Structures are given as C-alpha cells and as structure tokens.
Amino acid sequence: MKKFAISLYAAITVALMIWGFYQAIYVAPDDALQGYVFRIIYYHVPSASVAFLFFTISLIGSIGYLAYRRTRPAWAQIADAWALAGAEVGVVFCSVVLTTGPLWGRRAWGIWWTWDARLTTTLVLWLIYVSYLLLRRFAAGPQVQTLAAVLGIFGALDVPIVYMSNRWWRTQHPAPVFGGSEGSGMAPSMARVLLWNMLAWLCWGLLILVLRYTVERKHQQSAAQEALEALAANS
Amino acid sequence: MDQAAILDHQFVIAAYCVTWAIQLGYLAWLGLKWRAQKRKAASSARNPH
C-alpha cells in the first residue's frame, strides 16, 4: 500500500512536471518587454520558492535538534535528519536559482552577474548552506550535529534578507512580481503557468526531500548499531 | 527567425537543461547513497558481531 502511494505520488509529480514544461514553452505568451527569454522565470522563481521552504524546514529541524538533544535523543535525531535533508535539497534548488538567473541576466541585462543585493544575498545563502554540508561531511566528533544546527539557524536568517532585498534596496534584479509595490503583478495567462510550475517543483522537491530524509535515518540507525556493536566488543 | 529570437530560444533551453541536469544528478547521487546504505545494512545483518 505504501509502495503504491509513493509510486502514485511520483507519477503525479512527473505528470505535473511535463504539464508545467508544456505550459511554459508552448502555452505562455512572450513577455511584452523581454520576449521569449522570460520563460526562464518559470523554472527560476519556483526553484527559489522551494529553496526558501526547504531552508525553513532545515531551520525548524535545527531548532528541534538543539531543543531535544538532551531530553529526547530519539526526537533530536529525527529533527537532525530533517535539518540535513532540508539543507541539502535546499542547496540543490538554490544551485538551480544561481545558474538559471545568470542565463536570464545575460540575455536581459547583457551581463552574467552583478553584485546587486538580491544576487549577493542569494550567493551568501548558498555558501552558508554549502559550508553546513561540508561541516557535516568532513568534521568528526560528538559536537558536529550541534555546530551544524547552530550554522543552520544562522543560515536561515539570510532567507528573509534575500526575500526582502529587492524591497529594501534598489536592485538591478527585477522588482517583486507578487506582493510588490502598487502596479506590480503578472498577466493571468503567465501567472497560471508560474503557479503550475510552482506546484510541480514543490511536489518534486518534497519527493526528494523525503527520500533524503529516509536515507539519513537509515544512516543514523546503522551508525547507532555500529556504535552498540563496538561497545559490546570492548566490554 | 531572427538572430535574437534564436539566441533567446537557446538560452531558455540551456536554463531548462541545466535545471534538469542538477535535479537528476542529485537524484542519481541519492540513489547511489540509498543503495550503499542498503548493502551496508544487509552485510551487517549477515555478519553480526
């Protein structure tokens, strides 16, 4: 039953991805100013939204780990697995943002990159979470999870800064389309395509997030088993 | 199709291909990690100390 539900969810996700791609390439109209290249937005914006969501999951997991590490170690391990999964999948989506953005910028602005507030804060966010993953991968010792949780919390503080950067400062990055100043917004025919792609990438992201969480839980269980066996061998 | 339209099209396709390369690359890496974890669990179940 569980296997069937996962397969069904995966099939729906793939169908949504295909539908989103079809809508973005064949149905959405060209932008009046930017023309055809505007279609990059249909992958760029959903990836950014999903990255923010997963960094928030990582934040909640990190706080949960710090809160329960002494009182409820089993809960703390679950929270830590969510924190790691959120950070890692968030980095994947953030990498998509940082590659599709410059591709759009090259055509729209004539440059690949500029040190504007939105771009710089996004790069800093990516670097913080890459350092989080490197810490988890290469550091050893009992404090690694605690240090990673603290770093995860500090990293997540950059998420609202990235989100607000093109509201707080004048940036070369386009002004916010949704929830921006008066007159901002998108034609319904474009907004519909964007929402389809947001739904598709959210479903895809949740699928790989749960997969990553499961792998981490298995890793934790085998590490705990190895530790028990080592203790039994020494006593 | 003029030169600008061709370039626009190429940039859109490049962005979509890069997105899929990153996502599917990560999924493949996750699959390998999953398989390694499964093998490790199976071997420790066969050889308990």
Q: Inspect the interface and report whether the beta carbons of A95 and B12 lie closer than 8 Å.
A: no
A22 domain-assigned: no
pLDDT for position A226: 82
Q: d(Cα A116, Cα A173) in Å, to the nearest integer?
A: 7
A163 domain-assigned: yes
A66 domain-assigned: yes
* Chain A interface includes B14 (CB < 8 A): yes
Number of domains comprising chain A: 1
Work out how many CB contacts closer than 8 A connect A with B: 76
This model of the complex carries an ipTM of 0.90
A7 domain-assigned: no
Nearest residue of chain B to residue A228 (CA atoms): B49
Indicate the residue of A99, A219, A225 with minimum beta-carbon distance to B37. A219
Query: What does the longest C-alpha to C-alpha distance in chain A come to?
Result: 75
- CB within 8 Å of A92: residues ≥ 6 apart: A208, B22, B23, B26
* Chain A interface includes B29 (CB < 8 A): no
Residue A63: give the domain boundaries: 42-171+187-234
A91 domain-assigned: yes
pLDDT for position B48: 61
Q: d(Cα A154, Cα A150) in Å, to the nearest integer?
A: 6
Give me the phi and psi of A201, to 5 degrees please.
-70, -30
Q: Inspect the interface and report whether the beta carbons of B8 and A37 lie closer than 8 Å.
A: yes
How many CA atoms lie less than 13 Å away from B45 in the CB half-sphere?
7
pLDDT for position A181: 66
Q: d(Cα A40, Cα A80) in Å, to the nearest integer?
A: 34
A59 domain-assigned: yes
Mean pLDDT of successive 10-residue stretches along chain A, which has 235 residues: 91 96 92 87 96 97 96 95 97 97 92 93 97 93 91 95 89 75 78 95 97 94 85 80
* Chain A interface includes B9 (CB < 8 A): yes
A64 domain-assigned: yes
A34 domain-assigned: no
Nearest residue of chain A to residue B33 (CA atoms): A215
Q: Nearest CA to CA, how far is A16 from chain B (Å)?
A: 14
* Chain A interface includes B10 (CB < 8 A): no
Which stretches of chain B score pLDDT less than 50? none
Token pair of A82 as six digits = 């969510």
Nearest residue of chain B to residue A112 (CA atoms): B11
Nearest residue of chain B to residue A88 (CA atoms): B26
